[in-house]
Amino acid sequence: MMHFNVYFTLCLTVILFLVLGCASYERNDESGQSNEWISIWDGESFDNWRASENPESFQIEEGKIVVDGPRAHLFYEGPVADADFVNFEFRADVYTYPQANSGIFFHTQYQEEGWPQHGYEAQINATHSDPRKTGSLYAVKDVMNDAPHEDEEWFDYYIKVEGNNITFEVNGETVMEFTEPDDRDGDISLSSGTVALQAHDPDSRIYFRNIEVRPLD
């Protein structure tokens, strides 16, 4: 009987530990304060996303977002950080076809048409005629002429914003670092906002998958 009581007490202790641990994790996740990566695309629908001007430029095929068509931007409007990121990390798998041009905007906001007027753009371009290649903080600090990846293969694109510092990595290698000066003003600057994927032109075909963020606030 004594052995049974000891075993029962031990099992109960383990169960309570697991329950309390899970509850703590859930509280952290809901508040956006956990250190875990959070998926912001479900892999099968555009729930929590809104496309501008030419929504048909974005389709879903076999667990990836296919970007192919005239200019449009797909903005995240979901619950993570209320789609208003300040300090955060972002990562996604990206695949480009030859001559494709795209980008990931951050600290931006939805607009019905035109190029986003708020926030910065992380350029995506391996072989398009634009000399600003993947890893460029577009028109602010550019990676010129030679892209850090090849077309027709998946690569990992990582963005980090913390304070005044912006870092881009491609396949784990840092390709751009920028510290925004305190006196920078205008709409193309750090503030807060959502992220958006770009359809640049009808000749640009891009894939995105495994889109995740990690709020740092």
Per-residue pLDDT reduced to its tens digit, 83-138: 999 999 999 999 999 999 999 999 999 999 999 999 999 999 999 999 999 999 99
CA dihedral (77, 80, 142, 162) in degrees, to 10, reads: 140
**pTM reported for the whole predicted model:** 0.84
- For residue 71, tell me if it sits in a domain: yes
Instruction: Give the integer Cα–Cα distance in Å for 80 and 215.
Output: 8
- For residue 56, tell me if it sits in a domain: yes
- For residue 88, tell me if it sits in a domain: yes
Longest dimension (CA), the chain: 80
User: What does the pLDDT read at residue 134?
Assistant: 98
Q: Tell me which H or E stretch contains 18.
A: helix 2-31
- For residue 178, tell me if it sits in a domain: yes
- For residue 11, tell me if it sits in a domain: no
Instruction: Give the integer Cα–Cα distance in Å for 131 and 205.
Output: 18
What is the distance, to the nearest Å, from the Cα of residue 184 to the centroid of all Cα atoms in its chain?
Answer: 24
Number of domains, the chain: 1
Phi, psi of 57 (to 5 degrees): -70, -10
- For residue 192, tell me if it sits in a domain: yes
- Neighbouring C-beta atoms of residue 118, cutoff 10 Å: 20
pLDDT for residue 20 is more than 80: no
User: What does the pLDDT read at residue 22?
Assistant: 41
**CATH number, domain with residue 210:** 2.60.120.560
The domain containing residue 108 runs over which residues? Answer: 32-215
- For residue 67, tell me if it sits in a domain: yes
CA dihedral (18, 19, 25, 26) in degrees, to 10, reads: 150
pLDDT for residue 18 is more than 70: no
- For residue 6, tell me if it sits in a domain: no
Instruction: Give the integer Cα–Cα distance in Å for 79 and 32.
Output: 10
pLDDT band at residue 17 under the 50/70/90 scheme: very low
